[in-house]
Amino acid sequence: MSTENVMLEFQRRRRRRTVAVVVALVLLFFGVSMLAQMVGDRPAQVSAILILVGLLAFIWKDWRCPACEKSLGPEFQYKHCPHCGERLAP
């Protein structure tokens, strides 16, 4: 994969991660509170846990270097992959 393609894929993954976090936060704050009012606290708590587990699983699976496919870790603004050294952002 060329450096340009790696950088484009990294940008797509970064956008997906941002969207996933925003959607999860909206679901946690609004969806779970509405669910708690409709059916009670226990189903809302289970839903919140499932949303968080789903978000963490998505990030674990998706937040990888496009070149070597190793996990990038918790940082968001990488310029180079810490494992293979491939350039990820300009």
Average pLDDT, the chain: 89
Does pTM surpass 0.85? no
Residue-wise pLDDT for 64-74, tens only, equals 999 999 998 88
Say if residue 76's pLDDT is above 80.
no
In this predicted structure, which of 4-13, 39-48, 76-85 has the lowest mean pLDDT? Answer: 39-48
CA-to-CA separations, 48 to 11, 12, 66, 67, in angstroms, rounded:
28, 26, 30, 34
Whether the predicted pLDDT of 17 surpasses 80: yes
